[in-house]
Amino acid sequence: MVASIIHLSVPAAAQLIRHSYHFYNNFSASAPDCGPDLTQSQAGGNCNPAVQPGSFISDTFPGCGLTRTVYHNNIHWGLGYPNTAGTITSTYTIHVYVKTTNWGTLPWVRIIDFTNGLSDNGIYYKQETASPDRCIDFWPNGIVGPCPYFNSSTYYLLTFTRNGATGMLNVYVNNTLFSSYNDAAGIYTGTAGTPVYIYRDDQPVPCESGEANFGYLAFTNQFSSQTMVDSVYNLICSIANPGGTSTFSVTPNPVCTPNNITVTYTGNIASPGTGYSFNWNWDGGTVVSGSAMGPYVINWSTPGIKNVTLTITNNSCGNQNSNTQQILIGSKSASTVNQTICEGQSFLGYTTSGNYIDTLRDAAGCDSVRTLNLTVKTGSFSTISQSICEGQSLLGYTVTGVYKDTFVIANGCDSIRTLNLTVTPVSYYTFAQSICEGQSFLGYTATGIYKDTFITANGCDSIRTLNLTVLSKPAPDLGPDKELCRDDSLILNPGPFTSYLWQDGSTREYFEVKQPGIYSVAVTNNCGTATDAITITERVCIIYFPSAFTPDGNGRNDLFKILNAFNLQEYDLSVYNRWGQKLFHTKNVANGWDGTFNGQLQNTGVFIWICRFKKNNIENKMKGTVVLIR
């Protein structure tokens, strides 16, 4: 990929700060940038974080064909950027090339925290609908951009860039403007010396964390235009790859001597490269013109592969970044080849004696002339045609084909025997047959695969394969007698058969029961007819919750839980105090609240409960209050 120079836009009064990270087995700023190391930071709150903060793994960037090391954070861990130099304040750009792999268990997943965990304000992913895909939420101000949008299998280049003069905060996804948000209140700004956290949640509302693969992360004190975001996105395969800063192009490559080539710097340092030193190693080449960043015109006097290396040094801290490209230098040449071969052989595409002159082009595109003086000596040839049956062998060969065996004769050339072998295949015949229990077919009475061998007219075997299925006589099963809630229904399915006849004359393979009674079916298959019946009785199934409970350990009314929970498909119960704090949660109808929270007894009072459940494939929601009495 040929890159282009990325020009940065920084307010006139400010010096550009750029700290970029490639996660190539470390958390250091990528050379030649100078900057602080990132830290692996645990989320606030009691969230049961993973034991390890994360690890470096291998992943492939889409559209790049680039497989490399990335950083994967584990659940409830993220990355901390110290922001010591005040890179992220009111004017900034944050680039993150990331693939979220786990959204966690809550509707929100923190992307950026500017407040060092002191406030819940920040930028999040949010699950807004039943879709597993996510939206972007500027908490506490709501959803921005298309919703839902983000999935857990795609790398996105996310760019968050804020103009301190106007308060506008633009969000780009890849190189498309996703949303523009008016942050005149300065909610989404940083403070020098206050760390900025990526994918790590805070203490006020904890545990809103996810897992992701990070390929590139950059912080600058600039506001990025659409053109600048385009440049980063279009060059992401180069920028996200360690070494991308020192990229350069070579034109033409390859080249024939004594022609010149042009070398042009294509990395992301803006001209004239202030603050950086550019050191070129030309591997014996002569500089015709050019200096510093270039471009250069170079000439080599000898052919071969030349290794051109650019090393960029950051003058403020000495960090270096290098990149090497190979250049193929070719030249014209002439050669003569004297060769002797045997009849039937080939040399350089020629098979008869003679003098041949070929003009060739080498890998560099340079012409060379080759003269071939070829002598062909005669050999001996014989041919045999033979047929055998499948499974037999002739001269070591077992399959149809033309086989050549070579023997050396007195003049040093080969004697070649050609065998035209025909292998007559065994005749195979396969068929399937079904019978009923107690019957017989070709002497077989049980389900199975049976092979019989016969001799055919050509003297080779014929193999007959019988796939025999013994069908059982029909035996419908409607199951044991059942209870049915009023207004509910159930499906009776006696099993797979050829035809069905229910007590009401219907002939479907199943029957929907809505009323109590006796139901029967007669089923038929190729082996006969049989019947079965079932009795359905009515049951009262009204769901309700107690209005009070007494968790005093006497075995009566000690738990608050659902009553008469019959035939529920899904269930979710939560209990809150009057301040909205969740005290209890369960998805098991057998579990109930015992009047405690974090091991502490709750005082007598009124508590709020909310229950969601599914019954007969219908979503239901109930809520109310319960009195805890001690």
Beta bridge partners of 408: 414
**Residue holding tokens 């492939």?**
60
Mark out the alpha helices in 31-176 (DSSP H runs). Answer: none
Residue 317 sits in the same domain as residue 337: no
Q: With H, G, I as helix, E, B as strand and everything else as coil, classify residue 246.
A: helix
Strand pairing category for 401-408 and 380-389: unpaired
Residue 297 sits in the same domain as residue 205: no
Residue 407 sits in the same domain as residue 437: no
Residue 428 in tokens: 């195979």
pLDDT at position 364: 64
Position 26 confidence tier, pLDDT thresholds 50, 70, 90: very high
CA 575 – CA 608 distance, rounded (Å) = 6
Q: Are 550 and 629 in contact (CB under 8 A)?
A: yes
Q: Are 40 and 79 in contact (CB under 8 A)?
A: yes
The three state secondary structure string of 199-242 is CCCCCCCCCCCCEEEEEEEEEECCCCCHHHHHHHHHCHHHHCCC
Model pLDDT for residues 345-357, shown as the tens digit of each residue: 888 889 888 998 8
Rg (CA), the chain: 40
Q: Are 158 and 96 in contact (CB under 8 A)?
A: yes
Residue 317 sits in the same domain as residue 213: no
User: Of the candidates 620, 622, 621, 615, which has an alpha carbon nearest to the alpha carbon of residue 488?
Assistant: 615
Residue 144 sits in the same domain as residue 203: yes
**Residue holding tokens 């007698």?**
481
Model confidence at 363: pLDDT above 70: no
pLDDT at position 3: 40
441 in a structural domain: yes
1 in a structural domain: no
Sheet holding 255-256, edge to edge: 255-256, 320-330, 304-314, 276-281
pLDDT at position 402: 92
Q: Are 167 and 47 in contact (CB under 8 A)?
A: no
Residue 453 sits in the same domain as residue 467: yes
- For residue 558, give the CATH number of its domain: 2.60.40
- Which one is predicted more confidently, 2 or 134? 134
DSSP 544: B
pLDDT at position 12: 45
**Residue holding tokens 């049956």?**
389
- Which one is predicted more confidently, 229 or 427? 229
Model pLDDT for residues 91-131, shown as the tens digit of each residue: 999 999 999 999 999 999 999 999 888 888 999 999 998 89
Residue 215 in tokens: 């390929």
Model pLDDT for residues 302-332, shown as the tens digit of each residue: 888 999 999 999 888 888 888 898 998 887 7
Domain boundary among 196, 223, 239: 239
Residue 61 sits in the same domain as residue 173: yes
4 in a structural domain: no
Model confidence at 204: pLDDT above 90: no
Q: Cα 567 vs. chain centroid, distance in angstroms? A: 39
2 in a structural domain: no
Residue 558 sits in the same domain as residue 504: no
Mean pLDDT of 589-616: 93
Tally of domains in the chain: 7
Model confidence at 8: pLDDT above 60: no
Residue 431 sits in the same domain as residue 420: no
9 in a structural domain: no
Which structural domain, as residue segments, surrounds residue 447?
427-471
343 in a structural domain: yes
**Residue holding tokens 């839902």?**
148
CA 512 – CA 302 distance, rounded (Å) = 89
- Which one is predicted more confidently, 455 or 37? 37
CA 589 – CA 599 distance, rounded (Å) = 21
Beta bridge partners of 601: 596
pLDDT at position 318: 84
The three state secondary structure string of 261-298 is EEEEECCCCCCCCCCEEEEEECCCCEEEECCCCCCEEE
Residue 323 sits in the same domain as residue 446: no
Model pLDDT for residues 500-535, shown as the tens digit of each residue: 999 999 999 999 999 999 999 999 998 999 999 999
Residue 98 sits in the same domain as residue 194: yes
**CB contact set of 497 (below 8 Å; sequence gap of 6+):** 474, 476, 509, 523, 524, 525
Q: With H, G, I as helix, E, B as strand and everything else as coil, classify residue 244.
A: helix
337 in a structural domain: yes
Q: 129 exposed, middle or buried (CB, 10 Å; 0-12, 13-18, 19+)?
A: exposed
Identify the H or E element spanning 308: strand 304-314
Model confidence at 365: pLDDT above 70: no
7 in a structural domain: no
pLDDT at position 551: 94
**How distant, in Å, are the alpha carbons of 376, 404, 407, 428 from that of 382?**
19, 10, 11, 35
Report CA dihedral (274, 280, 285, 289) to the nearest 10 degrees: 0
- For residue 321, give the CATH number of its domain: 2.60.40.1080
Residue 75 sits in the same domain as residue 214: yes
Mean pLDDT of 197-222: 92
- For residue 486, give the CATH number of its domain: 2.60.40.10
Beta bridge partners of 118: none
Q: With H, G, I as helix, E, B as strand and everything else as coil, classify residue 564.
A: coil
pLDDT at position 7: 42
